[in-house]
Structure 1
Amino acid sequence: MGGSLAIESEVGAGTTVYMTLDFKVEECVLNEATDGVLEYHPTRSLRLLVVEDNRVNRIMIMRLLGKLGHITEGASNGQEALEKLFAKNFDGVFMDVQMPEMDGIETTERIREGGNGIDPATPIVAMTAHALPGARDLFLEAGMNDYIAKPVEVEQIERTLFNLFPEAHQCSD
């Protein structure tokens, strides 16, 4: 590994071991031209809030994120999401767009306003069945950082997490 090792020992006093290792720092990049196959290896668990009014969908997405090594919490509507964001810090939010009481776009606007201890820069991923042309741009203009079309697939989640949190992943060959 290109390092060094030194040992100092004194009878009755103990042993001290010194070790130096040189590690190559590698930047992870997805190659979109070749359909970017990503070996997903998070180096730290992210704390993620999943906001989805459909209980089955919410549980499924939380389980997928959990299997990828992340800590999740759920909210069933925008108001509940704001309350959870006020109470705890989250690294990111997966936000359903169409929900009763307060939809994903209004909730995102409230988050971006900040206040009440909510970090306005929290990354937000829109989740919706609206896979129409221009939908992604609409959600990005509303303040969301990325967009995933439903039904959500694990590869979409991996790619989104990699793009939003590159510092939380390691490369693999």
Structure 2
Amino acid sequence: MNVILIGYMASGKSSVGKILAEKLKFEFIDLDDYIEMKEQDTIKHIFKKKGEIYFRKLETKYLKEILESQDNVVLSLGGGTPCYGNNMHFIRENKNAKSIYFKTSIPTLVDRLKTEKAKRPLIAHIDSDEMLVEFIGKHLFERSQFYNLAEITVTTDNKTKKQIVEDVLLALF
């Protein structure tokens, strides 16, 4: 079984995913890290050099590569991955995959993201908390239709990583 973690950036997919993988004795893969390794380039540089459409095609290519060739993996997707190409359909059709949406409120996301904007190409240009709230709200509105296709939804607000892992394990088994 592969566990696919989806949700907005800073929802906890990677940090919780590592702990979850350890508990399950699975390998942990962050799709962005995997892309950087395969492409020998940073996400930020790929975005800048080739653009978002090129990057989204890479996400689809490597998502399929991982799901078709690996087992017992906790896979953390980028926030936009489920929303492009046929990615969510591919995940849902994969009988060996369980998708989990880490649902996180806008205030929590803003709190987590305001200190790491420089590392996030999609929000690096945003100057104020108010603009960040507006950007995240618009994005979540657009993306929630894809996120809500996940088989399992786990809310992450006001929970420790350990509590989120426990929620995921209860939902899986």
TM-score w.r.t. length of structure 1: 0.39
User: Which is higher, the Rg of structure 1 or of structure 2?
Assistant: 1
TM-score w.r.t. length of structure 2: 0.39
Identify the structure with the greater helix proportion.
2
Identify the structure with the greater strand proportion.
1
Higher relative contact order (CA 8 A, sep 6+): 2
